[in-house]
Amino acid sequence: MSTLPANVVRLPHTNQIDALLTIIRDKATARGDFIFHSDRIIRLLVEEGLNHLPVVDKTIITPTGNEFKGVGFKGKICGVSIMRAGEAMEQGLRECCRSVRIGKILIQRDEETAQPKLYYAKLPPDIESRYVLLLDPMLATGGSAIKAIEVLLSNGVAEEKILFLNLLAAPEGIIAVTSKFSKLKIITAFIDEGLDNKKYIVPGLGDFGDRYFTWP
């Protein structure tokens, strides 16, 4: 995409990011290496996501007895993974935020209607008071993401308190999500060329969940 919507953030194209993405895109990459390098990107995504949370002024006393005027996070957060691929991103969130609450949403395509259908949702009981990091490695058509966002909204989460984190995004998915939800924020590592006739991201990296959890 030549011009990104205002609520879409892409990680800077550094040599490190490009090298990590090249490794996980390679079909010859072994599962252990795929997991290791995917986890590195996920950690970078989480750190960038945290950068977009609001802060408040906070004054503390250092061990030298001096006052320091810094900042602290405003409000509580939680993660919500779109099963099953999104579960691969949970550890990266835990490594940045100790004891973070994590919810789960299972969405699958209805074979009769071809529309995304909610099968399961377990969310923190106070989710409406939290900022939510929605986790899913791939944003293709946007169908599952839109359904998951609707679930969050129906449980009282304010749209502007949702940050959607993913490794790869297709322009079609970005347009679908941002045209419907203009207040949330999408944070992605890379925006690919688009979707093929089977709705797979190209050049893509294959099925992220299969490669992370079950690839030989």
Choosing from 22, 26, 210, 214, which is the catalytic residue?
A: 210
Choosing from 25, 94, 101, 207, which is the catalytic residue?
A: 207
Q: What is Dmax (Cα atoms) for the chain?
A: 67
Catalytic annotation present for 101: no
Separation CA 165–CA 38 (nearest Å)? 13
Separation CA 94–CA 126 (nearest Å)? 19
**Which sign, positive or negative, has the C-alpha torsion 43, 45, 48, 54?**
negative
Choosing from 59, 109, 110, 126, which is the catalytic residue?
A: 109
Catalytic annotation present for 109: yes
Catalytic annotation present for 207: yes
| Ordered DSSP codes for 9-65 | EE----HHHHHHHHHHH-TT--HHHHHHHHHHHHHHHHHHHHHTS-EEEEEEE-TTS
Choosing from 3, 62, 64, 113, which is the catalytic residue?
A: 113
Catalytic annotation present for 43: no
Residues with a catalytic annotation lie at: 109, 113, 207, 210
